[in-house]
């Protein structure tokens, strides 16, 4: 119970007017009944509800409990967390894919670019129901698809991509990251960026500071599994406090990057995960409903 607290503690202030009203009712109840002045005492004691018959629980007592329980329920007592069923679906991952000539290298089959598309498809499948977007870059950056939960459309749009569709050759990684930052901000959802590239121009590393540091950026090296990682890519990842995940022949890298995307979401939300405090106020409802049923009894209204 060390974690016990109220989600909406300001509702506890409602105890004050409740206490005042109940105090007045008890005080009035404890005073002399007006009927005692118009009938004989030996008759009155047999007619008054709750006196002489052994009744301990009166309407005012039950009303007190109902009111207090209602205030506690509204304040939202809680002591444990639960996973949010919607957090993963609301989170967005913006895939930033390099589309320069070097991605056509065939040191991985069928090519680095095609393998990147395959990995993106696997990632979308692993995060089924979540939102994804795609930005490609070379000498300039371009939005291919905004955030969508329809992975089939995104994969279809990626199919026809090649370096030939880019207006200029180069490495505009910073421009692509800025576009991703704007995309997530305008969508109003938490999320992260996943860069799929074989290398990063060292000139881009110094400019990465221009991108919001709070934006989680992860790097996925599209290259042969046993080859050394590009130095520029390593420096870019280091500047963002991230690691470089090297592409594997199987799905190990996909599973890792899916978990990384989730971890990035938790970091953005500022709590220990997509977990939220479980509101236990609903536990008061059965008792409130049960006690309210007493008002159907004669004499309680």
20 touches 76 (CB < 8 A):
no
Q: Does CATH number 3.40.50.410 belong to domain 87-276? A: yes
Q: What mean pLDDT, rounded, does the chain reach?
A: 84
- Residue 270 C-beta-side C-alpha neighbours within 13 Å: 1
Q: Average the pLDDT over each of 77-91, 186-200, 247-261 and give the range with the smallest value.
A: 77-91
pLDDT at residue 113 in the model: 96
**Cβ-based neighbour number of residue 45 at 10 Å:** 11
* pLDDT value at 148 more than 80: yes
- What is the model's pLDDT at position 166? 95
- pLDDT tens per residue across span 115-124: 999 999 999 9
Residue ranges of domains in the chain: 5-80+278-296, 87-276
CB neighbours (10 Å) of residue 259?
A: 11
> What is the predicted pLDDT for the residue at 226?
84
pTM, entire model: 0.62
Q: What is the DSSP string of the chain?
A: -TT-EESSGGGGGGHHHHHHHHHHHHHHHHS--GGGGTS-HHHHHHHSTTSSS-----HHHHHHHHHHHHHHHHH-EE--EEE-TTHHHH-EEEEEEE-SGGGG--SSSS-HHHHHHHHHHHHHHHTTTSEEEEEEESSSEEEEEEEES-HHHHHHHHHT--GGGSSS-S--HHHHHHHHHHHHHHHT--EEEEEEES---HHHHHHGGGS-TTS-EEEEE-S-TTSPPPHHHHHHHHHTT--EEEP-SSSHHHHHHHHHHHHHHHHHHTSSSSEEE---GGGHHHHHHHHHGGGGSTTT-
Candidate ranges 75-79, 98-102, 287-291; pick with highest mean pLDDT: 98-102
Between 177 and 15, the more confident residue is: 177
Note the pLDDT tens digit of each residue in 209-263: 788 888 899 999 999 988 899 999 999 999 998 999 999 989 999 999 988 887 7
pLDDT of residue 229: 93
> pLDDT band at 107, cuts 50/70/90?
very high
User: Could you report the per-residue pLDDT of 11-68, keeping only the tens digit for each?
Assistant: 999 889 888 887 887 776 655 556 666 667 777 667 666 554 445 667 777 888 888 8
């Amino acid at each position: 119970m060390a974690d016990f607290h109220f989600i909406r503690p300001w509702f506890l202030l409602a105890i004050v007017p409740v206490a005042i009203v109940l105090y007045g009712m008890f005080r009035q109840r404890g005073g002399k009944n007006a009927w005692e002045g118009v009938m004989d005492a030996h008759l009155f004691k047999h007619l008054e509800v709750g006196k002489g018959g052994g009744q301990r629980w009166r309407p005012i007592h039950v009303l007190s409990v109902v009111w207090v329980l209602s205030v506690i329920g509204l304040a939202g007592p809680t002591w444990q967390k639960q996973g949010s069923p919607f957090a993963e679906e609301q989170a967005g991952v913006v895939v930033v894919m390099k589309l320069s000539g070097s991605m056509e290298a065939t040191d991985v089959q069928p090519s680095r670019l095609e393998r990147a598309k395959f990995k993106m498809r696997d990632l979308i499948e692993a995060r089924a129901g979540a939102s994804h977007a795609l930005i490609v870059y070379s000498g300039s950056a371009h939005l291919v698809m905004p955030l969508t939960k329809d992975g089939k459309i995104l994969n279809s749009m990626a199919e026809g991509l090649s370096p030939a569709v880019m207006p200029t050759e180069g490495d505009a990684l910073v421009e692509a990251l800025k576009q991703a930052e704007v995309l997530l901000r305008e969508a109003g959802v938490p999320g992260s960026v996943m860069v799929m590239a074989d290398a990063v121009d060292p000139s881009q590393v110094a400019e990465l500071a221009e991108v919001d540091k709070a934006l989680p950026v992860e790097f996925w090296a599209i290259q042969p599994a046993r080859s050394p990682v590009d130095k520029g890519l390593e420096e870019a990842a280091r500047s963002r406090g991230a690691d470089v995940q090297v592409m594997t022949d199987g799905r190990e890298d996909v599973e890792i990057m899916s978990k990384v995307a989730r971890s990035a979401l938790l970091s953005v939300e500022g709590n220990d995960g997509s977990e939220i405090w479980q509101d236990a106020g609903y536990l008061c409802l059965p008792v409130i409903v049960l006690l309210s049923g007493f008002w159907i009894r004669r004499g309680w209204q």
